[in-house]
Structure 1
């Protein structure tokens, strides 16, 4: 596994894991424990690459190093296969929350695509209810160990399929029972948000928030589509917004840049970018600028005032945690505790929560960092 997996998780002697964090972009089917996959696969008769949990974790990480989102997504065939029953979904959701809480997350948005979990007889609504049960059990289990965490579901539609409006209606049915937002996921290139425009129009009329994967495996037109056709309040990854930024000149003391219309719009309106450094490296999202984290446009976007947030995307596939992602950014760009606080406040302010609850979350995070 990459040496980055062993990055230092301390800043100024403070354990980053102990700090309160917000997770906006974390896929349920990308956060399974390897041992859970093994135990759920056995009664289903599913064949695995290995029956050893450590080796299985290594297998997932290795399979995701191709530098392609399409290849990266193939590993989900295995995780979704053990998430086709009520029991499987509930267990995975419960453990997902427990692992978030252990990592210091205090607000987590859990995104997943119910339409991918129907092969063993569950209906869409039954699948959502099973996940919600697991999330609530996870919150209770975390509370019993002294960890306070709240979570919400982001109901995702697969952008290359044709169930967008149906999934939007599903999300609306559950908006007061755990669902806090809508998302589209899957292969980005060739499948713009406009393909699901009827779903996004319905959600906009019903005042239900959406985030859209854009600017990961496709460029500026995908981002434009997310904003215009998807009415996106946040961008899933969004890092290729940097294609709309031109460095005019650079000297030893300063860089002078100009922003195109899309980048200016995103910056001026504080549209959050849900970046995931390790995943972005694995999928080749910023390959045009380099092949290691130093080439990630995160720091450029941060220095220019974009609302950047830090996320894991898929903890299993990237062998990561939110603590580790923050540690990698510290190592790569030399950030200090104040920078990390900014990233958490950015995420809290962009959370799909009522304004008053976002304000409470901001205060809680500031108190937690202040007491560190």
Structure 2
């Protein structure tokens, strides 16, 4: 096991947890509470590595912290197994919303793959409806505490399966009943978005937005396919777009770890296209380190290219990916940026506004969200 990902943040004069946050890349089956997994597993007869909540949580983090996306994805066998009934889906979705709100999230897009939750006989529409009922119950529970949160579903198709068209139609069918966008997820390497070209065309014909996992386990070809075949408005992770950027350091700064100089930068055609058009990158710092997505750039979180991308003007957003597996919250990821890259309140505000503006909300709701975030940050000043 590698050393802990998140170091203690320096002393701050503001409470990171209380800051309003926007979460765009957070998997439903990667955000369960360990205690909930244990209770649901007992009810359905599923065997777990441990029945102690603390030990089980540690097992998930250690198993995910392997440097391999394939090994990382294996941990989902246990969470998906307990999300096969209406009751299980409802509870997981409700608690998911409550946990987001406890972390200061005011708008969240929850992605998950309905096709993975049919083992007990539920239909695709039934599982989507069960999750939506849970999300709405979570919103109501948060409202009862005097807080507000808004959430939407990102209906996801699995890359290795052949149900893209069916899942795309499912997403469009639920567009006015909680679904706000479409995604493809799972093993990226070897499964380009081009496999789902017809499904993405169907979504475009129905004016339904898509974000596509690309640039995590695979490189520039995957990103290119996400844009061309997937018509992606956002890139899930997208971190390996940095492979299309050439940086030449000045000799005096090349070995200076404290230097802020990122050298002479040349963007390739693909990276220029993404930056110049403001295509959002849904970057998940801790997860990217765990899965090896940033291995080509260095060993530690300080080598993550997100800071370079941010400085160069890319539309960077910060996300958790899977809170259970990475053992993080969005607050933790913000603390990580403060600790690693010396980000301040202005940086966190810009990253949060990036996410708000990249959300799949209608324009009027998006503008209201941006205003709310600006007002909340303004009160700190």
TM-score calculated relative to the size of structure 1: 0.98
Q: Which residue of 1 aligns with 2:365?
A: 357
Does the 8 A contact of 1:279 with 1:312 survive in 2? yes
Does the 8 A contact of 2:7 with 2:336 survive in 1? no
Q: Which residue of 1 aligns with 2:58?
A: 58
Q: Which residue of 1 aligns with 2:275?
A: 267
Q: Which residue of 1 aligns with 2:221?
A: 221
The answer for unaligned runs of 5 or more in structure 1 is none
Kindly indicate whether residue 349 of structure 2 is the aligned counterpart of residue 346 of structure 1: no
Structure 1 pair 309/248, CA: closer, same or farther in 2 (3 Å)?
A: same
SS in 2 for 1:80: helix
Task: Give the C-alpha shift of residue 6 in structure 1.
Answer: 5.7
The Cα offsets for residues 250-307 of structure 1, whole Å up to 9 and x where unpaired, read as 3545621010000000000100000000000000001011111001000000000000
**Equivalent-residue separation in structure 2 for 1:243 and 1:216 (angstroms):** 11
**Equivalent-residue separation in structure 2 for 1:210 and 1:289 (angstroms):** 28
**Equivalent-residue separation in structure 2 for 1:162 and 1:46 (angstroms):** 27
Does the 8 A contact of 2:216 with 2:293 survive in 1? yes
Does the 8 A contact of 2:65 with 2:326 survive in 1? no
Q: Which residue of 2 aligns with 1:125?
A: 125
SS in 2 for 1:66: coil
The Cα offsets for residues 137-162 of structure 1, whole Å up to 9 and x where unpaired, read as 00000111122100000000001100
**Segment of structure 1 superposing worse, 190-199 or 253-262:** 253-262
Structure 1 pair 4/188, CA: closer, same or farther in 2 (3 Å)?
A: closer
Task: Give the C-alpha shift of residue 7 in structure 1.
Answer: 2.7
Structure 1 pair 291/126, CA: closer, same or farther in 2 (3 Å)?
A: same
Runs of 4+ in structure 1 displaced over 3 angstroms? 1-6, 251-254
Does the 8 A contact of 1:5 with 1:319 survive in 2? no
**Segment of structure 1 superposing worse, 225-234 or 38-47:** 38-47
**Equivalent-residue separation in structure 1 for 2:290 and 2:126 (angstroms):** 33
Task: Give the C-alpha shift of residue 344 in structure 1.
Answer: 0.2
**Equivalent-residue separation in structure 1 for 2:121 and 2:287 (angstroms):** 32
Task: Give the C-alpha shift of residue 3 in structure 1.
Answer: 3.8
Task: Give the C-alpha shift of residue 13 in structure 1.
Answer: 1.5
Does the 8 A contact of 1:108 with 1:151 survive in 2? yes
Task: Give the C-alpha shift of residue 67 in structure 1.
Answer: 0.5
Task: Give the C-alpha shift of residue 11 in structure 1.
Answer: 6.2
**Equivalent-residue separation in structure 1 for 2:239 and 2:364 (angstroms):** 29
Does the 8 A contact of 2:80 with 2:116 survive in 1? yes
1:318 aligned to which of 326, 339, 346: 326
Task: Give the C-alpha shift of residue 45 in structure 1.
Answer: 1.0
**Equivalent-residue separation in structure 1 for 2:4 and 2:116 (angstroms):** 33
Correspondence list, 1:1-372, <5 A: 2-5=3-6, 7-8=8-9, 12-250=12-250, 252=253, 255-372=263-380
**Equivalent-residue separation in structure 1 for 2:85 and 2:264 (angstroms):** 54
Does the 8 A contact of 2:262 with 2:308 survive in 1? no
Does the 8 A contact of 2:278 with 2:315 survive in 1? yes
Aligned length: 371
Does the 8 A contact of 1:11 with 1:336 survive in 2? no
The answer for unaligned runs of 5 or more in structure 2 is 254-260
**Equivalent-residue separation in structure 2 for 1:236 and 1:4 (angstroms):** 21
Does the 8 A contact of 2:188 with 2:213 survive in 1? yes
SS in 1 for 2:296: coil
SS in 2 for 1:51: coil
**Segment of structure 1 superposing worse, 54-63 or 355-364:** 355-364
Task: Give the C-alpha shift of residue 248 in structure 1.
Answer: 3.2
